[in-house]
Every structure is written in C-alpha cells, then in structure tokens.
Structure 1
Amino acid sequence: MMQRQPTVVTGQPATGIVRFSQDGHWDQDVHHLLRYARREAVVAVSNPTHSTDHLRLGQVVVDDLLAAGKEVRLLYSPDYLEIRDHQPLLRQSSLGAQIRVTDNDFHNVLILDRTVAVLWSGAGADHPYAYLVREPAVLRALHQFALLSWQSGHGLAGRVHTDPIDLSPTARTVLNTLNLGLIDETAARRLEMSLRTYRRHIADLMTRLGVRSRFQIGVRAAQLGLLDEPRE
C-alpha cells in the first residue's frame, strides 16, 4: 500500500515508478497527495473506481485547492459525468476550476506540479493497479497527453442538468444590476432600496447559487442562463 504522506512527496524515491495497492486507504492516500500541490493539479478521470469515498474526497480536496488559489484542470469522460453530482461541478467551475468533458480515450491520471503523477485502473479491472510516477521523462509525456486531451474536450454547457432556480423579480433585478458592475450605493439608489437591503439580496443570491463571491455570482448565473440578454 502507498506510504502515508508526507513521506511519498518529500522522501524517496526521488525518481522512478512505484506500484501500490488500491486496497485499504488508497483513496485517502491519493487525495492526501493532492494537498501537496504547490501550483497546479491536473485530474483526468475516465473510468472511476466504485468507491463512494473517491467522489466525496475528490470534491473536498478540489474545493481546498481552489480556495488556496491553485490552478485546477479537471477532465472527465461522459460516463464519469453521469455518476457525478453536477452541483459540486458547477460550484467548482464558478470557483475557477477549468473543467472539460471529452469522448476521446484517456487514462485515469492525477498530475501535480509536473513533478509527481498517479495512474490507476477504474471499475471492472481484473487486476486493479495504481502507479506513483516520479520519472521526469514519463511525467512530461503524461502531462503533455493529459493537456492535449483536456484541450480536445468541451465545457460543461449542455452536459450537465440542474434543477431550475426560481428567482423573484427583485432578486433577478439585483442580479442584473450587479452584473453591470455598479458600486453598491449607486445600485441601491437605482433600485430604490436601502444599501443594507441591497447587500442582503446579494448575500441571498450567494446562498441560492452556492458561491462565495460577487464575481462567482455572475459566472454561476451565466451558466444557468439567469442573466437578461443585453439590450441593443
């Protein structure tokens, strides 16, 4: 079984390829490794494992990486997208994750900072396996292939389905005013409401849309088609 972190990240082997078991705490080991990303993480999942912890831990760790300002690229197959809860994906997209879906064949792989990678088998494998890769030449090839696959993919639009969000006329007006980029005082005067009420509506929108900032409100609203079309 893969050793506990931080030994795998900071210790030996400095280079090479190591095979480890998917039994036991494999999911926790791999997602613990994710926490050591310094700049970027590329996660490509074509054929997932059956573990429910795999989905739950992946969601938590990606959220943590985004909150820490890391660059995150996520590549999924249509089959994997079908078993995922789409709400976390849309939230991660609004937080800055770059998410693509592709019909092209690719392998399950996680690459951190182009210095370490994990390859693993998916559900239905006769002999489950996972490899920890720290061989520079192999890492370069894996990273290049993963990015080419990611670039060949498409965004989430049209691929995910969410329950419609029904906004009140006032909330929709606040949303569109917020999208104009007006300062709060100007926006509140335009809508003939107090500054406190205007800001309360913004807080409510964050809650309804599952985001953490005003910028993310606009991104998420655009994804859901909640913004009015610009007038000619």
Structure 2
Amino acid sequence: MRDAVTEIVTIRGDLELLTRTAHLLSSVREEFVCAARDLDTWSRPGARQAMAARAGHTQQGQQVHQVRKLLSPAALADEHSRAHLRELVDQGALVRIASAPLPHETIVIDRRLAILAGLDGPGGREYTLTTVPTLVGGVYALFDAAWGTATELKAFLRGEQPRLDAAGRTVLRALGSGATDEKAARELGMSLRTYRRRVAELLTTLDADSRFQAGIRAGELGLNG
C-alpha cells in the first residue's frame, strides 16, 4: 500500500480512477470509508459495482475489513438507491446518512490512502490521491466527525425520510418555481382551495413551518428532483 501512490497524485476521469485504484480496493485489510453526496460520484465506469462487491468481501469465510459509507440525504431520492444501500447493509457495511449535504466526497483506505473527488470538467472529474500521513489523517478525522453526527440508514428511513407521492412532488415543484398560488393551481388543473390544501399537507409532511422552510427541508432530503 505504501508504494501504491507516490505522495500526491492528480488524475482525471473515472476510467483512470478505476484503473489506478482497482488493485487498492481489492487489498483493503482493515477499513474502507467513503463519503459521497449521492451514488453517482464513484459509479462510472463500473466503480460503484466494484466497490459494492468488496463491501462484504470475505476470505475463507472471514470478513477482512470494515466498510463505512456516509451519504447525504440526496442518495435516498429513489427506491432503487435505497434498495442498493439496504443490500450493502445486509452484506455487512455500515451506512449512515448525514444531516445535510456533504461538502466533500472522499474514500479512505486503511487510513493510509485518501482519494478526494474534485469538480467535473470537460476531460472528466478530477481526483486527488494521497498517501501523505498528515493529509490522510486530516481527511479521516473530518469523515469521523461527520460520521458521529449522522443517522444510521435504517433509522433514518424509519423516522426521518418523508415519502412524497406524485401529487406531492408536483406541488413541491410548483412551490419551487415561485409561481403564485393562482397560477400554480391553474397550471396543475386544480382549484385554488385544493392547491392550498395540498401545500398545507406538504408542509406537514416535511415538518416545515413555512414554504421557504419546506424548500430547504426538501433540498436537504434530496426530494427536489
């Protein structure tokens, strides 16, 4: 592991990321931690599948490392994503949901290597790999602090993740557009009274005291899509 990456390396694109780190992912011995805003950052081309396959990896029937995944609420935006995360938990991974969107996305392997995801660009997303102990330790400490305040996946799904039906999402989008109640009701083909009743129901579902707060809450939970 020590010779796998020379101090700090910057690469661009998901293909190069997978090529440079595939052998590292298969050599995890103690701990694999991952922080991501959603399930897309580490997904292409096949990276998510490779990482997921190793989440419950065993050798001769014994689990060889611990997996911790920290995600923002946006990762729970659809049932397919929720099912994927439940499967990881069933395989032995620990999954928690942060109380707000994560500002940084990273992977740390055995507290020796950190992979930081940068911005997406014309040549693909940029990633920084480092084995510098102080940098890896700092990244790990930030992850651990966020992990400590996050909620375990199943508990989050039970108590903190509102489910909006198609009508609720439609009203949420209308609120986000800034349209007046009259215009929104007309565009949605409902009476003004019905529209306002749906808005009140939406505020209750999102545990919000105002329409503005409802928009913030929906954004935190990844329900604006």
Asked if 1:116 is matched to 2:113, the reply is yes
Q: Equivalences for 1:127-142 in 2 at 5 Å?
A: 128-142=125-139
Determine the structure 1 residue equivalent to 2:88: 92
Aligned to 2:3: 11
Letter in 1 for 2:127: A
Bigger mean CA offset, 50-59 vs 142-151: 50-59
- Offset of 1:100 from its aligned partner? 0.4
Q: Secondary structure at the match of 1:99?
A: strand
- CA–CA distance in structure 2, aligned partners of residues 31 and 12 of structure 1: 11
Query: SS state of the match for residue 38, structure 1?
Result: coil
Residues 144-170 of structure 1, C-alpha deviations (whole Å, 9 max, x = no match): 000111111111124389xxxxxxxxx
Contact 2:14 2:44 in 1 (8 A): no
Distance 2:112 2:148 in 1: 21
CA separation of 1:91 and 1:18: change in aligned 2, threshold 3 A: same
- State TM-score, norm by structure 1: 0.55
| Structure 2 equivalent of residue 184 of structure 1 | none
Q: Which residue matches 2:151?
A: 154
1:26 aligns with 2:17: yes
Do the aligned partners of residues 19 and 89 (structure 1) sit closer, same or farther apart at CA in structure 2, a change above 3 Å counting?
A: same
The size of the alignment, in residue pairs, is 151
> Matched residues in 2 for 1:23 and 1:91: separation?
24
CA distance in 2, matches of 1:45, 1:96: 19
Q: Distance in 2 between matches of 1:106 and 1:139?
A: 17
Distance 1:53 1:104 in 2: 24
Partner of 1:55: 48
In structure 1, runs of 5+ residues without a counterpart are: 1-8, 162-232
* Equivalent residue, structure 2, for 1:69: 64
CA distance in 2, matches of 1:86, 1:115: 30
1:118 Cα deviation from its structure 2 partner: 0.7
**RMSD, aligned α-carbons:** 2.9
Is residue 71–residue 97 contact of structure 2 (8 Å, CA) maintained in 1? Answer: yes
Distance 1:77 1:96, change over 3 A: same
Conservation of the 8 A alpha-carbon contact between 1:17 and 1:131: yes
TM-score under structure 2 normalisation? 0.57
For 2:3, the aligned partner's letter is G
Cα separation, partners in 2 of 1:75 and 1:35, compared to 1, 3 Å: same
Q: What one-letter code is carried by the residue in structure 2 that aligns with 1:68?
A: Q
Deviations 1:85-107 (A, max 9, x none): 33332232233321101114331
Q: CA separation of 1:65/1:10 partners in 2, compared to 1, >3 Å: closer, same or farther?
A: farther
CA contact (8 A) 1:106 1:149 kept: no
Q: Which amino acid aligns with 1:53?
A: G
1:35 Cα deviation (Å)? 1.5
Asked if structure 1 preserves the Cα contact closer than 8 Å seen for 2:56 and 2:92, the reply is no
Residue 75 of structure 2, aligned match among 54, 68, 80? 80
Bigger mean CA deviation after superposition, 41-50 or 96-105: 41-50
Q: Secondary structure at the match of 2:88?
A: helix
Q: Secondary structure at the match of 1:107?
A: coil
Identify which of structures 1 and 2 has the higher relative contact order when contacts are C-alpha pairs closer than 8 Å and 6+ apart: 2
User: What letter matches 2:31 in structure 1?
Assistant: E
